[in-house]
Every structure is written in C-alpha cells, then in structure tokens.
Amino acid sequence: MEERRASDQRRHFERHHFEEELQALKNRLLNMGALVEERVHDATHALIERRLDTAERIIGSDQDVNDLQIEIDERCLRLLALQQPMASDLRLITAAMKINADLERIGDQAVNIAEQAVRILAHPPLKPIIDLPRMAEISERMTRESLDAFVRKDAKLARAILARDDEVDQLKDQVFRVLLTYMMADPGTIERALGLILISRHLERIADHATNIAEDVIFVVEAKDVRHHHEERPGS
Amino acid sequence: MEERRASDQRRHFERHHFEEELQALKNRLLNMGALVEERVHDATHALIERRLDTAERIIGSDQDVNDLQIEIDERCLRLLALQQPMASDLRLITAAMKINADLERIGDQAVNIAEQAVRILAHPPLKPIIDLPRMAEISERMTRESLDAFVRKDAKLARAILARDDEVDQLKDQVFRVLLTYMMADPGTIERALGLILISRHLERIADHATNIAEDVIFVVEAKDVRHHHEERPGS
C-alpha cells in the first residue's frame, strides 16, 4: 500500500515535471517567433524608411535565432528521450521540432529581405512602396497567430490562418504586375523593380512557413493531416 | 532461467523488428527522394526542350509526393510511439521527419519551376539556356547524395554536399547578371528574363533543402549540430 502510494506520487511528480518542461518548450518557441517576426518587420521597414544601418544590422546578426533554434531542438530531443511520451504529446513535440525549423527559415528570409534592401537603397526611390509592407504585415501576423494557435492548441485559429495565405499570393501577383509595367516603360528601373519583386517572393515564403506551422497545429490537435486536403481550407 | 531466456528472445525479436522498420523508413525516404528529383529534372527539361505538356503534367500531379510524405510521417510517429527509441535512433527518426518535409518542399519547387516554364513557353526562346540545367543538375545530385549520406550514415559525404551549395549560389548570381543585361538592352525580353531568374531562385532553394538534409545527417551521425558553425564547412 505504502509502495503503491510512493509510486503514484512519483508518477504524479513526473507528469507535473513533464508539463513544466512542455510549457518551457512552448515559451521558447514563442520567444523564437517574436525574434524572427521582429527581424522581418525591421528588414521591411529598413527598405521603406531607407535605413541602410538597420538592414546591415539584420544581415550581420542572426546568432540569437541560431542559438535558440539549437536550444529548442535539444529540448525536444530530451523530452522525447526522457519522457517517452505517447500519442498527443508525441505529436506536439515532433511538431515543435518542425515549427522550430520553419521559424528559423523565416529568420533566413528576413536576412534575404535585408540583403535586397541594401541593393535597392543604393538607388533613389522608384515609387511609394505600398503592397510590400501590407504583405509583411499579413505574413508577420500569420506567423504570430500560428504560434498562438500552437500554444493554445486552437485548430480553429489555425484554419483561419490557412485562408489568409491566398491574400498574400494575390498581393504578390499585384506587386509583380505593377513592377513589370515600370520595367517595361523605363529600363532604368529594372534593377530596383527586380529587387522589390524578389522581396515580395521572400515575404510570400514567410507566409508559406506560417501556413506550414498552422497545418502542424491542426495535426497536433486533431491527429488529422490537412497538408494535402486543400478542399477543407476555408475560402479556397 | 527459462523466463530470462524468453525475455531475451523477445527483446532480440523486438530489436530485429525495429531494424526492419527503420530500413523500411529509409527505403520510403529514398523513394520520396527519387520522386521529387525526377520532378525537378522533368520541370527543368520541360523548359529547355520547350515541352508544355510535360510542364503541365508536373503542375497537375503531386499526389504521389503528398501521399508518400504523409506515409513517412506516420511511420516515424509509429516508431517513436511503439519503440521508444533512445539516443541515436531518436536522432535518426526525428531527422527523417525533417528530411521528409524538405523533400516535400523540393517537390513544391518542381511545381513552381513548371509554372514559370508554362509562362516562358508562351514566348519565343530568349537565348540558349545553359546555366539553369547546370544548377538543376547540381541541385538534383545534392538531393540524391544527401539521402545516400543519410541511409549510409556517411558524415563525410554530407560535408562534401555542404561545400557544393556555394557553386549553386555562384551560378544563381551569374544567371542574374546575364539576364539583367538582356533586360536592360531590350525591354521586350523582360518577362522571359524575369521568369528565368525566378526559376534560378527555385533551383537555389532546392540546393538549400539538400543542404538542410546534409546538416541533419551530420547531426544524426555525430550528435553535433553544424547548422550554424559555417567555419567548419569545407571550402567556405
């Protein structure tokens, strides 16, 4: 009787510890998300506000993101090894590893945007930039909300994010059409217009990564793979 | 004594079964790799040989890739749940899940290339296409060899792949410079040149995914994260 009580207590303690570790993992992913979101924001605004120093700072400093990525992966592996979690916890932890990789690649896109910004800022402004900051805003919000959905296991929010990917694609096409007109009319605009088109592609990729995260969330919550069942997406 | 022998036998049987399942997982990843490699090859050659039907076939049919991706993920989750693997097996299975995601995205790039090809083929040829098939060849080989490195746990081969990413980046820059000259000289070439530039970016991303796979292999073999220690890369 005594023994069983001791073993129950130990199990209770282990479960409690496991929950704490899961919470710590979620917090680290939120940190990582906030960090890369800020970098995307800064890179886009370096372009719009013509701040070369900001763009150069982003290119030079991704050590924080990299350190955090490695730490999160190690946390996941430790949780898998020590706790031997089953079913839903297993889906959660393996999803965390995938989400971690997507966040790191969003960080890479911030660097790519900053690199293009440096090139573009060597020339005088081509035109008021309107669609790119909108694309950035939507992509940043998709990233933030996909992580909220993960932390709160909110499949409904995750599904709402999937629908917003189309908005980003439409803006991307619009950016392309407008800039093509500029290039055709005046070859002197080609380099800048090209740079802006490439930035729109980087922003599109950020939205794709946020979409991947949202799909992972739905899988975690519903044990249902929505990656390739696009007919289930609202609004598509 | 009898009991212990029975338990040893069971453990031996389980280990044997586990090894078989791991082998099946590796084979499925090789299948997935071969499938997406073929699609990249076909998409690039649809462009070069001006075969619209091939391009359209690739855009319409990624069900095989999608089904395989889901099957591989399920295998990984089952292995993690049923076998509760430790240390190196754990790294191998979680790496397989990441590699699976990279392969699927290589497949997405094949579709992107085919979509650009359709647009480009609406116009007469701009110039002989030389650098893009070279980029495609290197990226396809990087993909194939990164999977070989995974299956054979060959960290040396994986490191050789990392070095080749720079080659692809150089070709990408060369493609950009040459096509920029065309666009500047004759605005009538802008749409086609833009399409070719975007294809070079898709091929670059394929090489990036192969690089990610190679980094995962090194982590599996050496339990050492090389993702953000670029000083260790040969030739960089």
Look at residue B15 and tell me whether its pLDDT is greater than 90. no
The residue-averaged pLDDT of A15-25 equals 89
Counting residues of chain A whose pLDDT is more than 70, the rounded percentage is 93
Read off the DSSP letter of residue A121.
T
Is B178's Cβ below 8 Å from some Cβ in A? no
Which of A66-75, A225-234, B194-203, B216-225 is least confident?
A: A225-234
- Give the pLDDT score at A2: 65
Residue with tokens 């999803």: A95
> CB B60: neighbour CB atoms within 10 A?
10
Is A124's Cβ below 8 Å from some Cβ in B? no
Distance, in Å, from the CA atom of A100 to the CA atom of A132, rounded to the nearest integer, reads: 25
Which of A127-141, B7-21, B72-86 is least confident?
A: B7-21
Q: Which residues of B3-34 are buried (b: 16+ CB within 10 A; e: fewer)?
A: eeeeeeeeeeeeeeeeeebbeebbebbebbbe
Residues with Cβ within 8 Å of residue B8, at least 6 apart in sequence? none
Number of domains making up chain B: 1
- Give the pLDDT score at B127: 82
Closest CA to B105 of B13, B11, B211, B222: B211
Identify the domain containing residue A122 by its residue range: 2-232
Q: Tell me if B187 and A183 make a contact (CB, 8 A cut-off).
A: yes
- Give the pLDDT score at B2: 66
Please give the residue that has the higher pLDDT: either A236 or B205: B205
Q: Tell me if B77 and A94 make a contact (CB, 8 A cut-off).
A: yes
How do residues A173-189 score in pLDDT, each as one tens digit?
999 999 999 999 999 99
CA A139 to each of CA A36, A38, A143, A206, A236: distance values in angstroms, whole numbers, following the listed order:
11, 12, 6, 6, 18
Q: Tell me if A187 and B191 make a contact (CB, 8 A cut-off).
A: no
Is B180's Cβ below 8 Å from some Cβ in A? yes
Distance from CA of A38 to the nearest CA of B (A): 20
How do residues A142-153 score in pLDDT, each as one tens digit?
999 999 999 999
Closest CA to B139 of B156, B117, B161: B161
pLDDT band at A228 (very low <50, low <70, confident <90, very high): low
Look at residue B100 and tell me whether its pLDDT is greater than 80. yes
Look at residue B171 and tell me whether its pLDDT is greater than 60. yes
CATH number, domain at B68? 1.20.58.220
Look at residue B159 and tell me whether its pLDDT is greater than 90. yes
Residue with tokens 């069983």: A4
Look at residue A11 and tell me whether its pLDDT is greater than 80. no
pLDDT band at A235 (very low <50, low <70, confident <90, very high): very low
How do residues B177-218 score in pLDDT, each as one tens digit?
999 999 999 999 999 999 999 999 999 999 999 999 999 999
Distance, in Å, from the CA atom of A189 to the CA atom of A193, rounded to the nearest integer, reads: 6
Collect all residues of chain A within an 8 Å Cβ-Cβ radius of residue B98.
97-98, 101
How do residues A44-67 score in pLDDT, each as one tens digit?
999 999 999 999 999 998 889 999
Q: Which residues of A147-182 are buried (b: 16+ CB within 10 A; e: fewer)?
A: bbbbeeebbebbbbbbebbebbeebbeebbeebeeb
The residue-averaged pLDDT of A16-21 equals 88
CA B141 to each of CA A6, B30, B37, B167, B203: distance values in angstroms, whole numbers, following the listed order:
57, 13, 8, 13, 12
Is B194's Cβ below 8 Å from some Cβ in A? yes
Collect all residues of chain A within an 8 Å Cβ-Cβ radius of residue B182.
none
The residue-averaged pLDDT of A89-115 equals 96
Is A201's Cβ below 8 Å from some Cβ in B? yes
Distance, in Å, from the CA atom of A146 to the CA atom of A155, rounded to the nearest integer, reads: 10
The model carries a pTM of 0.89
The residue-averaged pLDDT of B132-155 equals 96
Look at residue B38 and tell me whether its pLDDT is greater than 60. yes
Which of A225-229, B113-117, B138-142 is least confident?
A: A225-229
Mutate to test the interface with B, among A69, A93, A98 (most CBs of B within 10 A): A98
Distance from CA of B41 to the nearest CA of A (A): 23
Distance from CA of A98 to the nearest CA of B (A): 7
Indicate the residue of B97, B201, B227 with minimum beta-carbon distance to A98.
B97
